[in-house]
Amino acid sequence: METKRVEEYERDEEEEEDEEQMEEWDDWQSEEEEESSSRCLCLFCCSRFGSAEILFDHCRSEHSFDFHHVVRELGLDFYGSFKLINYVRSRVAENKCWCCGLTLQCSRDLQNHLHPASNFEKDGNFFWEDDLYLKPYMVDDPLLHSFAGDEDEEEDPPAVDEEMMRELMTSEELPKLCNDGQSMINGDSPISDVFKETGNTEASLDSMDKISQGMMTNGMILKPCDQKQKDKILRVSLANVVARKIKNVNEKYFGSYGSFGIHREMLSDKVRTDAYRGALLNNPSLINGATVLDVGCGTGILSLFAAQGGASKVIAVEASSKMAAVATQIARDNGLLSEDSMKGEEQHSGVINVVQCMVEELDKYIYIPPNSVDVLVSEWMGYCLLYESMLSSVLYARDRWLKPDGAILPDTATLFAAGFGRGGTSIPFWENVYGFNMSCISKEVMEDASCVPIVDAIDSRDIMTESVVIHSIDLATMKIDEMDFTAIFELKLRTDPANNATSRTCPCYGIVLWFDTGFTNRFCKEMPTILSTSPYTPRTHWSQTILTFREPITMTSSDAFVSTTAAVGTEESPAVRIRARISIARSSEHRSIDISQEISGISSDDRKHSWPVQIFSL
């Protein structure tokens, strides 16, 4: 099977050399698929095809998946079909059968197992019903831009929100909605000018409707266009707008890492850098002679550590073109750049090969046999563990290239929560500003803080409750869905060693989150280590993430008599514990996360007071 995949890959490479160079992404046209060098990757194997139609024929004959039959039988619209493709890709990446859910040992076993679907639903919903499948599973997936052009069914045009329509108004594809891009009968102005002249979305939509019916618009009569063709182009244009938004976010994200300031901050983070350095240098049984894949290498520091630790081959992947060039130069200057990267330069050969691309596109630039990497290393963590993190990319690389018994570093991650007191807020600062009382400002500041998560370092002395684990993940086995979770937990005042906190009361102003990642003895036999961002350990550049309550909740560790008429959480009736429900999920805004927080105070006599849910976006 490995030989077959290599042969297929080599054949594809030879065919692609004869094709025209890929056009700029924004100039892509749906009806010019055959002329584009973007080749659609099969949903189930490594084969690539020049059009969606050929790909679907292959899937039907080789993998028992008839896309068009499923779409017709279930009456799927454009978005349903879009989600189906992303759902199938996500299942295949986990070696799961897309229709029966069986997990297989490897992709070869999965391909042998594939069978016609007999069921498409669970609990009355399609398997792909979740809107998370509106996010492309594979970055810049050409299939998502071309499958709509193969539809034969007439469908109602999808609803268009105003933001998308504003982008469509200036799209070069829009003229095709009328007259197949021809000029107007009584003028030479392009159709997009009509929309630009209206100045608002509602008027533009009305103009589009009139144009499609051949009515007079701004004194110019247009030929009616084919409704089916118009719908197809509109659907494809919408897909382009969504994908373009994701691409723009990625470009801004990776572009931000072209600044040396952020790399200095990360390299200066001794806790972070020493943890990775120790794992890569002090575990020779893991690193010596290993093939290492570094996802998001930045300056290449982890790749340098791996090479120094004895790796026989290091593939450093970096999406930022600037930082990929910098990493290449650094590896060259330190005599660690491989011959493959040197391109004939007369320098001492090393082991590091830097590849500039997103890891999801790595196959386009270098061939790595599936399941051939010994060690996968990445510093993927973001604020609150998951913000702007590269975890989905790391899991993609793990499932595609890591050996079944390969190591992933780090291999565990744990998210913690605790309640914090007044010192964790900005209130004390405003009470004494160069000797002046400015506490009138603190009320508005606290209101703002209750709407936006704050990333800052909090003093361990301001942690007033016991710490609890709210989420743990095993990087070696986790699925991408585990990035979204809900945790229900309770917080109690921590014991003060000085006075045992037998009768104290104090207000809790919110919840603080932090994480640990582990390089455990599962892979790091000689020297396991923990990278902690806890307020009880030296500060890191991640700091902690602070979620402020709308109003403080007074807590006590005593079971003394309390007022039964006062609201729980007040000084008259303090809470003995806080019950919290926190949900963290990937946001519709690419690379962001949404956090919801529901809080209840419970008194010693089990009375409860709940506060409205808070929504934070990070």
Q: pLDDT, tens digit, for every residue of 24-69?
A: 444 434 444 444 445 889 999 988 888 888 899 899 988 989 999 8
CATH code: domain of residue 496: 2.70.160.11
Distance CA 316, CA 398 (A): 14
pLDDT band at 244 (very low <50, low <70, confident <90, very high): low
Question: Residue 270 has what pLDDT?
Answer: 95
372 and 286 assigned to the same domain = yes
Distance CA 575, CA 569 (A): 5
Question: Residue 586 has what pLDDT?
Answer: 77
Residue 164: inside a domain: no
Distance CA 72, CA 546 (A): 49
State mean pLDDT over 343-355. Answer: 71
- Residue where a domain terminates, one of 81, 116, 145: 145
Most confident of the ranges 113-117, 118-122, 204-208, 408-412: 408-412
Question: Residue 103 has what pLDDT?
Answer: 87
What DSSP string describes 11-37? HHHHHHHTSPPPPPGGG--GGGGGG-S
**Contacts of 130 by beta carbon, 8 Å cutoff, 6+ apart:** 83
Residue 509: inside a domain: yes
* Of 220 and 55, the one with more pLDDT: 55
Where do we find the tokens 């520091």? 301
pLDDT band at 1 (very low <50, low <70, confident <90, very high): very low
436 and 523 assigned to the same domain = yes
**Contacts of 609 by beta carbon, 8 Å cutoff, 6+ apart:** 567, 568, 569, 575, 600, 601
Continuous H helices in 309-452: 321-333, 339-342, 391-401, 427-431, 440-449
pLDDT tens digits for range 253-287: 545 555 677 778 888 899 999 999 999 999 999 99
**Contacts of 544 by beta carbon, 8 Å cutoff, 6+ apart:** 455, 456, 457, 458, 512, 513, 514, 533, 535
Residue 215: inside a domain: no
State mean pLDDT over 179-191. Answer: 41
pLDDT tens digits for range 361-380: 999 899 999 999 999 999 99
State mean pLDDT over 149-154. Answer: 44
367 and 417 assigned to the same domain = no
Catalytic, out of 151, 173, 318, 379: 379
CATH code: domain of residue 310: 3.40.50.150
Q: Evaluate whether 371 touches 404 at the Cβ level (below 8 Å).
A: yes
Instruction: Compute the mean pLDDT over every residue in the chain, rounded to the nearest whole number.
Output: 78
**Contacts of 19 by beta carbon, 8 Å cutoff, 6+ apart:** 37
Exposed e or buried b for every residue in 62-72, given b needs 16+ CB within 10 A? ebebbbbebbe
Distance CA 604, CA 615 (A): 29
End-to-end CA distance of the chain: 44
* Of 383 and 157, the one with more pLDDT: 383
Residue 250: inside a domain: no
481 and 596 assigned to the same domain = yes
Distance CA 295, CA 159 (A): 38
Share of the chain above pLDDT 90, in %: 38
pLDDT at residue 199 is higher than 50: no
Q: Evaluate whether 476 touches 572 at the Cβ level (below 8 Å).
A: no
pLDDT at residue 188 is higher than 50: no
Distance CA 591, CA 222 (A): 43
What DSSP string describes 32-90? GGGG-S--EEPSSSS-EESSHHHHHHHHHHHHS--HHHHHHHHT--HHHHHHHHHHHHH
Residue 92 DSSP code? H
pLDDT tens digits for range 449-461: 888 889 999 999 9
451 and 542 assigned to the same domain = yes
Beta-bridged to residue 382, according to DSSP, are 385
pLDDT tens digits for range 599-615: 999 988 889 989 888 88
Residue 363: inside a domain: yes
**Contacts of 348 by beta carbon, 8 Å cutoff, 6+ apart:** 335
pLDDT at residue 539 is higher than 60: yes
Beta-bridged to residue 487, according to DSSP, are 582
State mean pLDDT over 116-139. Answer: 83
* Number of domains into which the chain is organized: 3
Structure tokens at 66: 């008839």
Question: Residue 525 has what pLDDT?
Answer: 96
* Of 128 and 564, the one with more pLDDT: 128
Q: Evaluate whether 377 touches 294 at the Cβ level (below 8 Å).
A: yes
Catalytic, out of 388, 482, 490, 598: 388
424 and 367 assigned to the same domain = no
Beta-bridged to residue 517, according to DSSP, are 413, 531
- Residue where a domain terminates, one of 87, 118, 145: 145
291 and 431 assigned to the same domain = no
- How does strand 402-409 pair with strand 373-377? parallel
45 and 134 assigned to the same domain = yes
467 and 567 assigned to the same domain = yes
pLDDT band at 222 (very low <50, low <70, confident <90, very high): very low
Question: Residue 344 has what pLDDT?
Answer: 47
Backbone phi, psi, residue 104, to 5°: -105, 165
pTM comes to 0.61
pLDDT tens digits for range 480-527: 888 888 999 999 998 765 444 445 789 999 999 999 999 999 999 999
Q: Which domain holds residue 608?
A: 412-617
356 and 461 assigned to the same domain = no
Distance CA 155, CA 81 (A): 12
- How does strand 121-122 pair with strand 216-217? unpaired
Residue 159: inside a domain: no
pLDDT band at 251 (very low <50, low <70, confident <90, very high): low
Q: At what angle do helices 52-63 and 67-74 cross, to 10 degrees?
A: 90
Residue 80: inside a domain: yes
Residue 399 DSSP code? H
Q: Nearest Cα to 533, choosing from 377, 384, 379, 378? A: 384
Residue 33: inside a domain: no
* Of 394 and 591, the one with more pLDDT: 394
Q: Is-catalytic flag, 379?
A: yes
321 and 427 assigned to the same domain = no
Question: Residue 496 has what pLDDT?
Answer: 66
372 and 417 assigned to the same domain = no
Q: Is-catalytic flag, 551?
A: no
pLDDT at residue 114 is higher than 70: yes
pLDDT band at 141 (very low <50, low <70, confident <90, very high): confident
